[in-house]
Amino acid sequence: MRINIKALVIAATLPASLVILLLSVWSRLSVSFGSYFMQAYNSIHPHPFAAANPGLLWYEHLFGVFFDLLYMSVDVAFLAGVFGLLYNWISGPGDAE
């Protein structure tokens, strides 16, 4: 059985993007919620609009949410695509679709 790569990438990227969007916005609105997670996340994906930076203006927080969402979307899409390709390669030719 082979995996449809496009469907896997979309099915993995949308929920992960929604989760990071909610976490990023919520941690910027609330000082204590998700602060350790966002510090760890921003240590992997650094940008000048980190959630832990207290001196940001409202539009800089929007840029930060956008960067967090962009990083997560690209990472998950890439990893899901690699996983799907490796699975299809390991599983063999299988049935033609």
Q: Tell me how many domains the chain contains.
A: 1
Give the model confidence (pLDDT) of 56-78 as tens digits. Answer: 888 998 999 999 999 999 999 99
CA dist 76 and 55 (Å) reads: 30
Give the three-class secondary structure for 45. Answer: coil
Inside any domain, residue 96 = no
Q: Evaluate whether residue 33 is within a structural domain.
A: yes
Q: How confident is the model at residue 2 (pLDDT cuts 50, 70, 90)?
A: confident
Answer yes or no: is 37 within a domain: yes
DSSP structure class, residue 13 = H
In a domain, 4, yes or no: no
Asked, for residue 11, whether it belongs to a domain, the answer is: no
3-state secondary structure of 94: coil
Domain-located, residue 1: no
Residue 5 maps to a domain: no
Q: How many CA atoms lie within 13 A of 56 on its CB side?
A: 18
Cα separation values, 70 from 11, 86, 92, Å: 16, 24, 33
- Residue range of the domain that includes 40: 21-91
pTM: 0.83
Does 25 map to a domain?
yes
